[in-house]
Structure 1
Amino acid sequence: MKMSNNFKNISKAFVGVLTLSAVLVACSKDTTEPIQLAGLNVINASAEATKYDFIVDNTKANEKDFQYNSQLGYLNLYPGLRRIGIVEKGKTAFLLSKQETFSPGVAYSVFIADTLSKRTFVKVEDDLTAPTGEKAKIRFVNLSPDAPALSLGINGAATDLFTGKAYKESTAFVEVEPGASINFEVKNAAKTVVATLPATKIEKGLIYTIWAKGFNGTVAADSLKMAAKIYTHK
């Protein structure tokens, strides 16, 4: 498999009206027609030491090491049915490959979840509509393969932001008050806190995803234990 490396990251948050001028030839005349792109962010939530290259069709999309906990940031992507996959860094044999449909003007996050023969892609749409007023937006994704259904709340709050999300499930975005030091808590059905994001800064006007990662059971390294992580959509 021959691969090229000519993807360019979108420098700012993907916007649905982004277009790319493409020259199309028809009836021996050159015409220019705008093509509305999709946006694709890829997050490595696979709790293992393997470094990947991420492939769209036959194109390598990452320029830096793509390891556990890292993300690519939004990529320009022509819409339609595209083959996405991962290979071990510097190699060509697919560890995971799947055809996915991407719609024009829509932003997506694709998570690489689980490990070894159980690796899978989890694709979710990203609502990048700006929060209203002085608010921020947050959603939650459960990407801990052996965890029970999980909830996300804020320490001291009367009710949780999200409840009962099973492995690979995600929530819609909700608006929240910004804060300089917010303590997020991931809980199981018994309301026991199983992971935290302490002293987290949430800024007005920004959009965030919090995800549960790692394994709930016994693991060989502390870095692979269940934890929570946050990223900003930009």
Structure 2
Amino acid sequence: MKTIQFHKAKFIIALGAIALFSAGLSSCKKDKDAEPSAYIMATNSAEGSTSQDFTVDDNKTNVNALAYTQATTYTPVKVGDHQLQFKSSGTATVNSTASLNTEAGNYYSVFYLDDKSTVTLKDDQTDPQPGKARVRFINLSSVLTTNVDFGVAAGTKLVTGLGRKAASAYYEINAATAFSLYLAGSTSVLLNIPVTIQAGHIYTVYVSGSTGATLSYHLIMNK
């Protein structure tokens, strides 16, 4: 009888140890799941480029290769310092490298340019006012080496003197607003931008192209 009780006690102790181990694993998983994240979206804005893969710390984030004007969705990454690279799709050839320090809960956009440089921007995800959209503008065209202005199609300028690789502030815009691109200080429209803007969303409008003939506009919905 004593022997039976002894084995029974050992069995109960073993069950307890297994339960504690399982609880520890569950706790570790919860801690891992609870790690704060940041979010990165990558865009290939280099007109003459081959399709690109985008990696964060050598981990590819895109499912399909990024052809010119194509972008990833927002990819969650750990908070902290990261190495970002654009590579020729399916190869180890690195075309551009940049570093980015991410903060918890923040969103970032990364662009690959004609000159094989990388532009990184922090995205503001603040919701627009009811009935409005929020829009920012970026000049990523290698042919526009001087500053540019952006305005609404009616002629009112929103952004003046925006340099290449620079992003404007965000603007509250009415739905269905179209835009125009000008050389800085000019009233002559360089490029019409008849994008479709919907209320309640946040957008990036960027221009790209390596020649005057291929200068074009593109719209990204960030939220």
**By the TM > 0.5 criterion, same fold?**
yes
1:42-86 Cα shifts (integer Å, max 9, x gaps): 111111141111111121111112111100011111111111101
Query: How large is the RMSD of aligned CA atoms in angstroms?
Result: 2.0
Aligned partners of 2:188 and 2:142: how far apart in 1?
18
Evaluate the alpha carbon distance shift between residue 194 and residue 216 of structure 1 in structure 2; reply closer, same or farther with a 3 A threshold.
farther
Amino acid at match of 2:215: M
Residue 149 of structure 1 is aligned with which of 103, 123, 147? 147
Q: Give the alignment of 1:195-206 within 5 angstroms.
A: 195-198=191-194, 200-206=195-201
Correspondence 1:39-54 to 2 at 5 A: 39-54=39-54
Cα distance in structure 2, aligned partners of 1:169 and 1:145: 13
Q: Report the counterpart of residue 83 of structure 1 in structure 2.
A: 83
2:160, 2:68 → 1: CA distance? 26
Aligned residues: 195
Distance 1:210 1:29 in 2: 44
Shift of 1:156: 1.4
Residues 139 and 29 (structure 1), Cα distance of their counterparts in 2 relative to 1, 3 Å cut: closer
Where 1:193 maps in the other structure, the secondary structure is coil
Counterpart position of 1:35: 35
Q: Whose Rg is larger?
A: 2
Alignment-derived partner of residue 232 in structure 1:
221
* Higher helix content, 1 or 2: 2
Give the match for residue 188 of structure 1. 183
Partner SS state of residue 178, structure 2: strand
TM-score w.r.t. structure 1 length? Answer: 0.77
Q: CA deviation at 1:212?
A: 1.2
Give unmatched runs, 5+ long, in structure 1: 1-27
More strand by share: 1
How far residue 201 of structure 1 moved from its aligned partner, in angstroms, is: 2.1
The equivalent residue for 1:63 is 63
Conserved? CA contact 1:194–1:226, under 8 Å: no
- 2:104 paired residue number: 104
Q: 163, 167, 170: which one pairs with 2:164?
A: 167
Structure 1 equivalent of residue 127 of structure 2: 130
Q: Which ranges in structure 2 are unaligned for 5 or more consecutive residues? A: 1-24
Q: String of CA shifts for 1:176-209, please: whole Å, max 9, x gaps.
A: 1112xx33111102232222222x3211101111
Secondary structure of the residue that 1:98 maps to in structure 2?
strand
Paired with 1:71 and 1:93, the residues of 2 have a C-alpha distance of 20
